[in-house]
Structure 1
Amino acid sequence: MHGLHIVVAVLAIWLVLAYLALPAIWKRAERQAVLAGREMVTRTSQGIEGDPINFGLVGEEPEVLCAFRSAGWILADSVTLRSSLKIAGSVALHRPDPAAPVSPLFYDGRVEDLAFQLPDGVSAAHRHHIRLWRIGDKVFHDRPLWLASASYDRSVGLSHFTLQVTHHIGPDLDAEREFVGQALGKAGAIRSFFQIQGVGPTLRGKNGGGDRYFTDGEVLIGVVAENCQLNPGAPVAPPDNPPHVDLRSSIIHTLGGRG
């Protein structure tokens, strides 16, 4: 009878872990009605899933432009024959192209509204970059919401899907999300941060170029300083996440780093 009690207790613990505790770690209740049920991933012009949404801003367009400009980021050129030849020369000849274009991605059925980059080296082969889509005009405190995908270009090569020339991104998208947030925060362009549920945690994501990535699935949202009233050096507190969200992030980053 004693052995039966042990079996029942073990079974009960397993049921609680498997069907209550562990599933709760991988879920996050979304309290922002405007975002509920949204697909949080971009797509290429061929309809292939691209980079996930992992960043966002609250603010008017001039405030968003001011925020990135204050942090040293550069508005990317539009994709034209001239700009395409210029970025090709930058990579091939190892020379600067600070406003090099980014390939178009689509969200909500339309191409990005804004794109910025921060060169990391001499040529456009390595750079931080971000695409932003304006989602609504009066979403948070009567201010527009922008959702964005931020990633780091680590090399130039061929797309695994279309064989077109493209940049290949670094796999740790959460690191790039934090990099953008820290850059804007240090420039005094952000008043506060909060997080929302994004594409969901994954260790085996793949973007439109066939590059693998991992992410905890969260989207970092920064509330931009109104009227470009910057406050450089002012500390910006990180988002106050539920403990299970931080635990989930730790698990993903530990496993992703091993991959």
Structure 2
Amino acid sequence: MRRRMAVALIVLPVLYAAAAYVLAPLAWDFIDRSSPVPDTSPRLTETADHRPGDPLNVMLIADEARLTAAMLAAGWTAADPLGVRSALDIAADIMLDRPYAAAPVSRLYLFGRAEDLAFEKPAGPDPKTRHHVRLWRLAETAGEGAPRFIGAVSFDKGIGFSRETGQLTHHISAEVDRERDGLRNDLERTGLVTRSVLEPGFHPVLSGRNGGGDSWVTDGALWIGTLAATP
């Protein structure tokens, strides 16, 4: 009996890992490739296996150094790169209720590539709850001036299993507009925002689900902030 239990304790986690982290992503990738939908102006990020991610809702106009300085002045922290060491660190800090202000974020994709920058602001004693934003640098065109970064800001409300793949993941709050406006307020308080515009109608679809199965709703607007040089 004990031997059977020992075997089960070894086999079941292996089967779960294979199903959640290998078979399910392969199935979603097959579905996506079977019915490709070209999108030259995406409004949503996507997961590595091409499922919908979080909605885009912010654009920051500044070079990377200026943007980073403004985010730090606003009380946000640059996220550590995702890797084996940082993944183990965040897992340990969640289990032990320890702070990790620079905890890594999972990768999302836009234009076929992962985010260029990621920032976060803790909302609790450990990395389970946090405000976070991923940003992608847009291709530059002649006469546009400062670089533009478009991104998706949302709130991690806890850890759980993905409803799509069964993987362990952060779950986001549905109120993504609240996070968009919170980031705008944080940056405006620094005095480094020289122009602030809320562009309506950016999202033609005002609700959906991300790759973890989490619902989101939006008024459809994109906040565009232009950042000044820091003193």
TM superposition score normalised by structure 1: 0.71
Does the aligned pair in 2 maintain the 1:58–1:140 contact within 8 Å?
no
Runs of 4+ in 1 over 6 A off after TM superposition: none
Q: Write out aligned runs for 1:27-176 (5 A).
A: 38-138=41-141, 141-176=144-179
CA separation in 2, counterparts of 1:95 and 1:109? 34
Query: In structure 2, do the counterparts of structure 1 residues 165 and 140 end up closer, same or farther at CA, with 3 Å as the change threshold?
Result: farther
Measured against aligned partners, the alpha-carbon deviations of 1:112-169 in whole angstroms (never above 9, x if no partner) come to: 0000000011100000000000003357741111100000000101111111111000
RMSD (Å) for aligned C-alpha atoms: 1.6
CA distance in 1, matches of 2:48, 2:221: 25
Equivalent-residue separation in structure 1 for 2:143 and 2:202 (angstroms): 17
Asked if structure 2 preserves the Cα contact closer than 8 Å seen for 1:57 and 1:145, the reply is yes
**1:89-120 CA-partner distances (Å, limit 9, x unpaired):** 11111111110000000001100000000001
Query: Who wins on radius of gyration, i.e. which is larger?
Result: 1
In structure 2, the CA distance between the partners of 1:194 and 1:78, relative to structure 1 (3 Å rule), is same
Distance 1:86 1:199 in 2: 36
1:136 aligned counterpart, secondary structure: coil
Aligned residues, how many? 192
Give TM-score scaled by structure 2 length.
Answer: 0.79
Kindly provide the amino acid, as one letter, of the partner of residue 202 in structure 2.
Answer: G
Give 5+ residue unaligned stretches, structure 2: 1-39
SS at match of 1:228: coil
> Is residue 41–residue 199 contact of structure 1 (8 Å, CA) maintained in 2?
no
Tell whether the 8 Å contact from 1:201 to 1:216 is kept in structure 2 after alignment: no
